[in-house]
Amino acid sequence: MKKPRQLRFDAAKSDVLNLFREHPRRVFAYSDLQQVLEENREYWRLTKSTTLEDFIEFLTRYGRLNRIEISFPSRTMTRYVWGETQIYEMILSWHPASYLSHFTAVYVHDLTEQIPKTIYLNVEQPRKTPPPKRLDQANMDAAFKLPMRRSKTVAKFGDFEICLLSSMGGLNLGVVEADQPEGQKIRLTNVERTLIDITVRPGYAGGVFEVLKAFRNAKGKVSINKLTAMLKTLGYVYPYHQAIGFYLDRAGVYDESSIRLLRKIEMSHDFYLAHAMKDPEYSKDWRLFFPQGL
Chosen domain end from 15, 48, 82: 82
My answer on whether 215 and 201 are in the same domain is yes
C-alpha to C-alpha distances, 85 to 22, 137, 163, 252, nearest whole angstrom: 16, 48, 18, 40
Query: Helix-strand-coil percent breakdown of the chain, rounded to 5?
Result: 40, 20, 40
The pLDDT of residue 139 is 94
The pLDDT of residue 180 is 77
Domain with 143, as residue range(s), is 87-290
My answer on whether 184 and 60 are in the same domain is no
Spatial distance between the Cα atoms of 200 and 236, rounded to a whole number of angstroms: 9
**CATH code, domain carrying 59:** 1.10.10
Chosen domain end from 26, 59, 82: 82
Task: List the chain residues with pLDDT less than 50.
Answer: 1, 4
My answer on whether 72 and 102 are in the same domain is no
Question: What does the buried/exposed string (b/e) look like for 107-116 if buried means 16 or more CB atoms within 10 Å of the residue's CB?
Answer: bbbebbeeeb
My answer on whether 236 and 117 are in the same domain is yes
My answer on whether 236 and 100 are in the same domain is yes
My answer on whether 200 and 68 are in the same domain is no
Could you give the number of structural domains in the chain? 2
**CATH code, domain carrying 145:** 3.30.460
My answer on whether 45 and 119 are in the same domain is no
- For the chain, where are the E strands, in sequence order? 27-28, 65-71, 76-82, 99-100, 118-122, 154-157, 160-165, 175-179, 185-189, 271-272, 281-283, 288-290
The pLDDT of residue 132 is 58
Chosen domain end from 82, 99, 117: 82
Spatial distance between the Cα atoms of 294 and 289, rounded to a whole number of angstroms: 11
The pLDDT of residue 274 is 98
The pLDDT of residue 281 is 98
